[in-house]
């Protein structure tokens, strides 16, 4: 189940509920993950945002554990708190800088991200 909540351009959120049936063990499990993001446009073209991501029952999931590989280059985030700023420098392109605190299946860490995004018609 996917549910997206969107207000007048400021709050944005999503809730995802996943039901998994693992065939060999015939074990059914489910977990929920979601986020809520608040945005505020400072001045064109800058927007600041704060986002909280959280999950329930994900750390007990055998399905999620399948994504935890031996060299640990995939981190499944159980919780994240993020602050950032987005620069919409053209109509369909943006640069985003984000600082966040992440709690994953195996550790907690702080991250800095720089992301370029584009919408291609």
| Domain map (residue ranges) of the chain | 37-118
What pLDDT, on the 0 to 100 scale, is given for residue 24? Answer: 65
Of the listed ranges 29-33, 93-97, 111-115, the one predicted with least confidence: 29-33
Instruction: Compute the Cα dihedral for 71, 76, 78, 80 and give only its sign.
Output: positive
Q: What strand order describes the sheet that includes 77-90?
A: 2-6, 11-22, 27-43, 46-56, 77-90, 93-104, 108-118
Question: What pLDDT score was predicted for residue 69?
Answer: 62
Residue 5 backbone dihedrals phi, psi, to 5 degrees: -115, 130
Q: How far apart are CA 58 and CA 34, in angstroms?
A: 11
Distance, in Å, from the CA atom of 93 to the CA atom of 98, rounded to the nearest integer, reads: 16
Is residue 6 predicted with pLDDT exceeding 50? Answer: no
Q: What pLDDT does residue 1 have?
A: 39
Which residue reads 């018609």 in tokens? 121
Question: In terms of DSSP bridges, do strands 2-6 and 108-118 run parallel, antiparallel, or are they unpaired?
Answer: unpaired
Say how far apart CA 51 and CA 68 lie, in whole Å: 24
The residue with greater pLDDT, 73 or 3, is 73
* Proportion of the chain above pLDDT 90, given as a percent: 30
Q: Note the pLDDT tens digit of each residue in 34-92.
A: 889 998 888 778 999 999 998 887 777 777 777 766 665 566 788 899 999 999 998 88
- Binned at pLDDT 50, 70 and 90, residue 116 comes out as very high
């Amino acid at each position: 189940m996917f549910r997206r909540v969107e207000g007048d351009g400021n709050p944005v959120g999503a809730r995802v509920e996943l039901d998994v049936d693992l065939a060999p063990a015939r074990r059914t499990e489910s977990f929920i993950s979601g986020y809520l993001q608040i945005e505020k446009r400072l001045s064109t073209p800058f927007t600041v945002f704060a986002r909280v991501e959280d999950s329930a029952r994900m750390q007990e999931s055998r399905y999620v554990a399948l994504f935890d590989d031996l060299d640990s280059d995939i981190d499944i985030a159980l919780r994240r708190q993020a602050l950032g700023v987005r620069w919409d420098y053209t109509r369909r392109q943006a640069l985003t800088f984000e600082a966040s605190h992440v709690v994953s299946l195996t550790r907690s860490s702080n991250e800095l991200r720089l992301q370029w995004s584009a919408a291609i018609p």
